[in-house]
Amino acid sequence: MSGDLSDREGIEQALSAYSLAIDRQEWDRLRDAWAPDGVWILADGSEHRGLDEIERRARWGALHSPADHLHQIFNLFVRLDGDTATADSDWLYYGRMDDRPWGIVSWGHYRDRLVRTPDGWRLSERRILRRLEYQ
């Protein structure tokens, strides 16, 4: 891995801002995760471009998700190239469906591209690859 620790920390901050925004429905925090022209490619192949569209889709998703949920990101592998980076990671999505106990709702991988901005590292593209979803 190249680059100094502060680059990796900045990238981790952007990735965490995404999960915290989704899990806590703190939509302003999405702006700490995404570049203004970011692209969010969901597991169904749909693409959402720009902060406003990404926020609209995130809000819609929150209405169709378990009321109680949490993302966990792990196995993060980062490659830096100047003011751009790629990151691959795995994720687990926990939730409580209906009156069932908490459990894994789905899991998969993120394939991310990031860019250094004046405000820090931000996602320029996130591709969600879902491997399993429980019903």
DSSP state of 99: T
pLDDT at residue number 98: 73
What is the structure's pLDDT at 134? 62
What per-residue confidence (pLDDT) applies to 135?
53
Give Cβ neighbours of residue 69 (< 8 Å, ≥ 6 apart): 23, 93, 94, 95, 96, 105
User: Does pTM top 0.85 for this prediction?
Assistant: yes
Closest CA relative to residue 112, chosen from 82, 83, 62, 76: 76
pLDDT tens track of the chain, all 135 residues?
A: 344 559 999 999 999 999 999 999 998 899 999 999 999 999 999 999 999 999 999 998 887 776 788 899 999 999 999 999 999 999 999 988 777 788 888 899 999 999 999 999 999 999 999 887 665
Domain-wise residue ranges, the chain: 5-133
Cα 72 from Cα 27, distance rounded (Å): 18
- pLDDT at residue 3 in the model: 47
Strands of 58-119, DSSP E:
68-81, 84-96, 103-117
Give the pLDDT score at 2: 44
Two structure tokens written together for 107: 């899991």
Give Cβ neighbours of residue 72 (< 8 Å, ≥ 6 apart).
Answer: 91, 92, 93, 94
CATH class (in words) of the domain with range 5-133: alpha beta
> What is the reported pLDDT for 117?
95
